[in-house]
Homo-oligomer: A and B are copies of this chain.
Amino acid sequence: MAPKYVLIGAGSVSFTRGLVADILRTGKELELGLVDIDPQALRFAEGLVRKMVAAKGAPVRVAASLDRRDLLPGAHAVVCTVGVGGRRAWERDIAIPRKHGIYQPVGDTAMPGGLSRALRMVPAMVAVAEDVLELCPDALFFNYGNPMTAVCRAIRKATGANVVGLCHGVPGVAQYLAQFIGVPLGELRYTAVGLNHLTWFTEFRHKGHDAWPLVRAELARRLGTEPDRILAKLAGIGEGPNLPQGLDNPFSWHLFALYGAFPAVLDRHAIEFFPQLTPGGAYYGKTLGVDVFSMEAVIEGGDRRYEQMREIALSPDPLPADYLGSSGGEHEQVVSIIDSIDTDAGRVYSANLPNRGQVANLPPEAVLESPAVADASGMRALMLGGLPSGLAATLVSRIAVVETIVDAALQGSRDLFVQALIAEGSVSSLTMARQLADDLLAAHAENLPQFAGKARRG
C-alpha cells in the first residue's frame, strides 16, 4: 500500500506548492491528504495540487478534507503548516504593539507579536497532536508552524507527542555563508545550535579546516579594514543611516564579530531576540517593520501570491512551467528527511527537538534547533557539549520567555501572558505590559478559546 502523507494547513499554498513539487520529484507512489479548516483555501490548494499531479503524470492519489480526522488514520507522515488566523491576525500582532511604540520586523516568533501568535497557535496545534496520537500514533509528525519553539514545546508538554520542528533557516544561512566566501556548499560542514530563528553557527569548516578565518578575511575586505579591526569598524556603523556598502545584515555581522558565531536567520529574524537593542524599532537609522523589513510589504506579497495561485488553481489553463521545479524555501527538508528515515540513510539535518543533554548548559526539555541524525530510529540529536556562557545567555533568557508563554497559552492565563511580556523585554513599564496584553487578547479573542470566560483580575 502506498504510504500516506497528510498536510495540515494545506491552504498555505506557497508551502503546499513547494512541498508537492518536492514530493513529485521523488517519483514515489503515495497518497496525499490535504487538510485545511478554510473551505476556500482548501479548494484552491486541492485544485493546484491536482493540476501539479496531473502535469507530472505522477502516481499520487490526492484527497482533501476540512476535517483532519478523516485523513489522519493510516498516515505515514503528518506535516503541519498551520497559521491560525492567517495574515489578518498577523497584521494585528504587528499593529497593536506599534501603538505602544514597539516595532518589529517579522512577528512570527519573538517580541510581543510572536508571543501573541503563540497564544492562538498552541491550542490549535495541541489539538492536532492529540488527534495524531489517537489516530496515527506511529506517524512521523513534523511542524513548520511558528512560533516553532513554543509550538513544539507546548505539544510535547501537553501531549508528549514526538513532534519534530523543521525550518529552512539553517540550511539557507549555510548557503548564504558559502556564497559569502565563494565556496561550494557541499565542501562545508557546520554545527548550528540554538532556538529556531536564533540558531548560532558555532562551527563552520571547509574540508575539515576552520572556515571562520576565511569568513573574517572576506568581511574585513568588504568593510575595507583589517580582520582585527572589524568590531571597531562595525561599531561605527549603527550610529545612523550609514549602512556599510557591500554588506547586508550588519547586525548579524556585528554579532558574529562579537560572539565568534553567526546567527541564523540573519538580521530580520535575529534582531527580534535582542529587543533591548532596538528601542523604538531603531535599525541603522530606519524603523523595523516600517521602512526596513516592511511588514506591509510582506503581508501584501502574501496576499498577492495567494491570489495568483488561486487563479492558477481555478483556471482551465495548464500549469506554468516553473511550478514543478525546485523552489527552495520552507518545505525543503521534509521530503529528504522522510526518505532518510525510510531508507535508514542516517543523514544529518537541522531539527527542533527537546534538550535531553545535547547542549549541557541549556535547560532540559527546551526545544532546541541543532543537528540530528535521521534514520529508521527516527531523529536523534548529536551531543554538542556546552555553549560559551555569553552565547548561552542569548538563548536561556528566550527559553524562559517561551516556557512562560507556553504556560500562558495552555492555561489561558492573562497574568502569565503579562509576565511573558515583561520577561521578553520590549515593554517599558509594568503598566504597558498589562495594557498591551489586554489589547492583544481583545483583538484575537475569536482565536483564543482558552481565555474565554476567564474573569479579569484587577
Seen from chain A, the residues whose Cβ lies within 8 Å of a Cβ on chain B are 189, 191, 203, 205, 207-209, 228-236, 238-239, 251, 254-255, 257-260, 274-277, 279, 282, 341-344, 346, 348, 356-358, 360-361, 363, 373, 375-377, 380-385, 388-394, 396-397, 399-401, 403-404, 406-407, 415-416, 418-420, 422-423, 425-431, 434-435, 457-458
* Cβ–Cβ contact A423 & B390, under 8 A: yes
**A403-B392, A418-B258 given; A458·B357 CB < 8 A:** no
Interface of A is mostly: helix
Q: A234–B390 Cα gap in the complex (Å)?
A: 36
In-complex Cβ contact of A189 among B191, B260, B376, B435 (8 A): B376
In-complex Cβ contact of A385 among B274, B356, B373, B382 (8 A): B356
What's the nearest-Cβ distance from chain B to residue A393, in Å?
4
Q: A403–B386 Cα gap in the complex (Å)?
A: 13
* Cβ–Cβ contact A208 & B342, under 8 A: yes
Query: Can you list 17 contacts pairing A with B, beta carbon distance less than 8 Å?
Result: A208-B376, A229-B458, A234-B430, A235-B434, A254-B430, A259-B415, A276-B427, A277-B428, A277-B430, A348-B373, A356-B385, A358-B383, A363-B363, A363-B396, A391-B419, A393-B401, A393-B419
* Cβ–Cβ contact B431 & A416, under 8 A: no
**A228-B457, A390-B404, A458-B230 given; A238·B430 CB < 8 A:** yes
Q: A457–B277 Cα gap in the complex (Å)?
A: 22
Q: A233–B255 Cα gap in the complex (Å)?
A: 42
* Cβ–Cβ contact A373 & B382, under 8 A: yes
In-complex Cβ contact of A375 among B189, B342, B375, B429 (8 A): B189
Q: A431–B235 Cα gap in the complex (Å)?
A: 5
* Cβ–Cβ contact B390 & A396, under 8 A: no
* Cβ–Cβ contact B384 & A392, under 8 A: no
Q: A449–B216 Cα gap in the complex (Å)?
A: 30
**A207-B344, A418-B258 given; A392·B400 CB < 8 A:** yes
* Cβ–Cβ contact A357 & B344, under 8 A: no
List the 8 shortest-distance A-B pairs measured between CB atoms, nearest first: A357-B357, A231-B458, A390-B419, A397-B397, A393-B400, A208-B344, A393-B423, A232-B458
Q: A392–B363 Cα gap in the complex (Å)?
A: 12
**Complex interface: chain B residues within 8 A of A430 (CB):** 234-235, 238, 251, 254-255, 258, 277
* Cβ–Cβ contact A376 & B205, under 8 A: yes
**Complex interface: chain B residues within 8 A of A397 (CB):** 393, 396-397, 400, 423
**Complex interface: chain B residues within 8 A of A238 (CB):** 429-431
What's the nearest-Cβ distance from chain B to residue A428, in Å?
5
Q: A389–B417 Cα gap in the complex (Å)?
A: 11
Q: A254–B394 Cα gap in the complex (Å)?
A: 27
Q: A421–B60 Cα gap in the complex (Å)?
A: 53
Most buried by B among A277, A393, A394: A393
**Complex interface: chain B residues within 8 A of A420 (CB):** 390, 393
Q: A422–B254 Cα gap in the complex (Å)?
A: 13
Q: A274–B422 Cα gap in the complex (Å)?
A: 8
**Complex interface: chain B residues within 8 A of A358 (CB):** 357, 383
